[in-house]
């Protein structure tokens, strides 16, 4: 019997594994959420598939997306990253990750529940389960992604527009937008950390 998946998944085993094992699974780990949000920002103007194929390169280049290391990056590191063919070489996006690492630290210090608690507050701490009949019904933004985007921008984050925030919410399991006939459709399960 054929396994039904969301129709955006291609035949690449890496993409299939991402869909089956990660996308839409509730994620509550501060550092993993930071990495995911930074990768979503890197995707702006590109496809997620492109970024996913470079994910290991990003992890290596950005010290495992460790905010404590990233905040120390200076111009020499930016220039080094601009020469790295394993990542998206966009100066504004690279500098955005550095800025965002500083904001991440601020949020972790100031917000109850840290980064995860802060981000999950935009969906009331519980995944929103949608019931779209087809991909054409899935919105690019929602009121929740609008609020998240505005709040993150007010704090100083870069590359966190509402479309990026909604894609992030889908990927991190804050929103379940698996197709109704997808075998990964929301079932009661533990939240991943």
Q: What is the pLDDT of residue 187?
A: 55
Please, what is the Cα angle at 142 between 137 and 143, to 5 degrees? 145
Output the six-digit token pair for 92.
């504004």
From CA 12, how far away is CA 51, in angstroms rounded? 14
Q: What is the pLDDT of residue 186?
A: 66
Which stretches of the chain drop beneath a pLDDT of 50? 188-193
From CA 162, how far away is CA 106, in angstroms rounded? 21
Element holding 14 (H helix, E strand): helix 13-21
The HSE-up count of residue 72 (CA atoms within 13 Å, CB side) is 6
83-123 pLDDT, tens digit each: 999 999 999 999 999 999 999 999 999 999 999 999 999 99
From CA 75, how far away is CA 149, in angstroms rounded? 27
Q: What is the pLDDT of residue 146?
A: 98
In this prediction the pTM is 0.94
Domain ranges (residues) in the chain: 13-176
Catalytic residues: 18, 40, 48
Q: What is the pLDDT of residue 142?
A: 97
Q: What is the DSSP letter of 108?
A: H
Question: Span 13-176: which CATH code?
Answer: 1.10.340.30
């Amino acid at each position: 019997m054929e396994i039904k998946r969301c129709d955006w998944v291609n035949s690449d085993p890496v993409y299939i594994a991402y869909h089956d094992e990660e996308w839409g699974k509730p994620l509550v780990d501060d550092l993993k959420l930071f990495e995911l949000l930074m990768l979503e920002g890197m995707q702006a103007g590109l496809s997620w598939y492109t970024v996913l194929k470079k994910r290991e390169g990003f992890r290596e280049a950005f010290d495992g997306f460790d905010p404590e290391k990233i905040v120390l990056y200076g111009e020499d590191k930016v220039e080094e990253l601009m020469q790295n063919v394993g990542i998206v070489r966009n100066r504004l996006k690279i500098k955005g990750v550095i800025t965002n690492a500083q904001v991440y630290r601020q949020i972790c210090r100031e917000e109850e529940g840290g980064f995860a608690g802060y981000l999950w507050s935009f969906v009331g701490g519980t995944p929103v389960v949608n019931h779209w009949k087809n991909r054409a019904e899935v919105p690019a933004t929602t009121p929740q992604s609008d609020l998240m985007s505005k709040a993150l921008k007010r704090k100083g984050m870069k590359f966190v527009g509402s479309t990026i925030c909604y894609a992030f919410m889908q990927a991190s399991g804050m929103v379940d937008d698996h197709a109704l006939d997808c075998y990964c459709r929301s079932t009661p399960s533990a939240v991943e950390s």
